[in-house]
Amino acid sequence: ANDKPKGARLHVEPDRNFQQACYNRCIMRIGIDCRTLLHPEQGERAGIGHYTTNLVQALVRQYPRSEFVLFIDHRLVNHPLLALLRKRNNVSVVMFPWSQYKKILPFGYSHVVVARTLAVARLDVFHAPAYSIPLQYRGPSVITVHDCAIYDHPEWFPRGQHFAKEIVVPAS
């Protein structure tokens, strides 16, 4: 016999002892693609940059026993937030090699060079806050999809998004 009233949801209280044990012992190596950090000096005030910046700041502060590997490209070398984060014991910053050549070989850079750099970093998990994981990356990963407007209203987006829309984002 089912004693639970119809429509009732099962609620499980978190095991505080287990949570504290994990907090004291569990250390993860977490990679985050930070190429979309916010650039307020360039007029950015919202969007994925805002999300990435706030996410990184919160995670680094909230989980001091985890190690965060922040991946950037050549455009972010002097980003003010990275200067602050580099002072923390649980943060390292890795620049994707040859990022200045991305425009010449976008597929090779985005899906081979970036994937190789992530693999060499030996991450426990990689987070991509901007829709896609490199196709060649095989490690555990988390992706943030902010919206799916490109599927409902492709006319709102620049031409040439077919590969990303049909292959990269769904494969991620």
Q: Return the structure tokens found at 16.
A: 């505080």
pLDDT number for residue 17:
63
Question: For a pLDDT cut of 70, what percent of the chain falls above it?
Answer: 73
Average pLDDT over residues 119-145: 90
pLDDT number for residue 57:
92
Radius of gyration over alpha carbons of the chain, in Å? 19
Neighbouring CB atoms inside 10 A of 51's CB total 16
pLDDT number for residue 69:
94
**Cβ(51)–Cβ(145) below 8 Å:** no
**Cβ(70)–Cβ(36) below 8 Å:** no
Greater model confidence, 92 or 100: 92
> Where do we find the tokens 């990184």?
56
Q: Return the structure tokens found at 51.
A: 């999300």
